[in-house]
C-alpha cells in the first residue's frame, strides 16, 4: 500500500510551493508600522515644541510627517 504524503499547494509553471504565510506576516505588520511612525512623529513634535517654544506647530507638522511616513512604509511593504 502506498504511503500518503501531505499535500502542498503548488502554483506557477515551475510548481514551487506558495509562500502565503509570508504574505500574512507582512500584512500583519502594517498596523504596527503606522502606529510606530505616528508615535515617533508626535514624540518628535513634542520635543521640537519644547526646544523651539512653538507649541502646536511642531506636533502638527511632525505628526503629519509621521502619518505620511507610515503610509509610505505600508505601501512599500505591500509591494514586496
Q: Which residues make Cβ contacts (< 8 Å) with residue 18, sequence separation at least 6? A: 9, 10, 11
Query: Residue ranges per domain, the chain?
Result: 27-78
* 1-37 residue pLDDT tens: 556 655 555 555 555 555 556 667 767 888 999 999 9
- pTM above threshold 0.85: no
Q: How far apart are CA 46 and CA 14, in angstroms?
A: 53
Residue 29: the pLDDT is 85
Q: How far apart are CA 26 and CA 29, in angstroms?
A: 5
10 phi, psi to nearest 5 deg: -115, 135
Amino acid at each position: 500500500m502506498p504511503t500518503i504524503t501531505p499535500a502542498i499547494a503548488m502554483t506557477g509553471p515551475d510548481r514551487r510551493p506558495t509562500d502565503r504565510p509570508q504574505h500574512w506576516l507582512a500584512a500583519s505588520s502594517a498596523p504596527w508600522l503606522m502606529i510606530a511612525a505616528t508615535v515617533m512623529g508626535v514624540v518628535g513634535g513634542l520635543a521640537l515644541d519644547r526646544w523651539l517654544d512653538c507649541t502646536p506647530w511642531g506636533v502638527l507638522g511632525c505628526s503629519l510627517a509621521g502619518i505620511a511616513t507610515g503610509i509610505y512604509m505600508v505601501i512599500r511593504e505591500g509591494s514586496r
